[in-house]
């Protein structure tokens, strides 16, 4: 059986789900949060150490301001309401991405990260204003600045995911087979599962099916 430490998820399909069921994309985002809670719980049950969730990409700023504002309000409310509960569950929250939000949100994110920094049960990496290309460019710039050698270890150590093992599993819901600028360096050898269901319809059973399949896969890493 394969060891399983890290699951990364592109939580796609909220907008379509909301439109279909409530004629509102934003409703889909709201329901998507319920799935997030289910998957956090299931990750703990499966003894997974790292769960990386793609919540907002560097490209998502292209969306209408009303949707972007709604998403950030949702995030703010979620953190304000749940951070103490997450802390109680021994969950560590880390933000990956460029933290250049409003003063208020930056402060809240920092508070959540500080509050939970010593927790050991599950680390949630929340990808917020995250883009893989800009992450890699930053890493190369940092290496240059510090006059370090360009090699795999040095690049990995300059990414937001420093000290986090690469994802074993990458899941994308929403019936779309693309990566949308997510963890391009880190998923070189991840097992990828593209799922037809939209994110709000995805549940712990679907998650457990993927994990079961993963555990039995033959992973080669270039060998035979």
* Residues of this chain, 15-54, that bind ligand IPE according to CB under 6 A: 15-16, 54
Question: Which residue's CB comes closest to ligand IPE?
Answer: 15
- Is residue 60 flagged as an active site residue? yes
Residue with smaller CB distance to Mg ion, 116 or 132: 132
Q: Contact at 8 Å (CB) between 119 and 90?
A: yes
Give the range of 8-16, 88-96, 105-113, 153-161 binding ligand IPE by CB under 6 A: 8-16
Contact pattern from residue 117 through residue 136 relative to ligand IPE, giving x for each residue in contact according to CB under 6 A and a dash for the rest: --------------------
- In a 10 Å sphere around its CB, with 0-12 CB exposed, 13-18 middle and 19+ buried, how is residue 170 labelled? buried
Residues 152-211 that bind ligand IPE (CB under 6 A): 174, 176, 178, 180
Question: b/e map of 135-148 (b: 16 or more CB within 10 Å)?
Answer: beeebeeebeeeee
Instruction: State the residue for tokens 């992450």.
Output: 135
The residue annotated as part of the active site, out of 2, 46, 60, 138, is 60
Instruction: For strands 169-172 and 50-57, give the pairing.
Output: unpaired
Residue 201 annotated in active site = no
């Amino acid at each position: 059986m394969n060891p399983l430490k890290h699951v990364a998820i592109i939580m796609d399909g909220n907008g379509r789900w909301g439109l279909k069921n409530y004629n509102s994309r934003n409703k889909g985002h709201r329901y998507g949060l319920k799935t997030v809670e289910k998957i956090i719980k299931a990750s703990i049950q499966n003894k997974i150490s790292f769960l990386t969730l793609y919540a907002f990409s560097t490209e998502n700023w292209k969306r209408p301001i009303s949707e972007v504002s709604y998403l950030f309000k949702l995030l703010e409310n979620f953190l304000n309401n749940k951070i103490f509960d997450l802390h109680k569950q021994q969950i560590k929250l880390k933000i990956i991405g460029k933290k250049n939000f409003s003063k208020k949100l930056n402060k809240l994110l920092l508070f959540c990260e500080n509050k939970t920094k010593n927790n050991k049960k599950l680390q949630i990496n929340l990808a917020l204003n995250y883009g893989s290309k800009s992450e890699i460019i930053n890493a190369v710039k940092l290496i240059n600045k510090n006059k370090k050698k360009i090699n795999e270890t040095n690049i990995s150590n300059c990414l937001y995911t420093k000290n986090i093992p690469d994802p074993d599993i990458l899941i994308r819901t929403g019936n779309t087979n693309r990566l949308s600028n997510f963890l391009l360096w880190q998923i070189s050898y991840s097992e990828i599962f593209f799922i037809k269901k939209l994110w709000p319809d995805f549940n712990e059973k679907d998650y457990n099916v993927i994990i079961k399949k993963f555990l039995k896969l033959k992973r080669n890493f270039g060998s035979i």
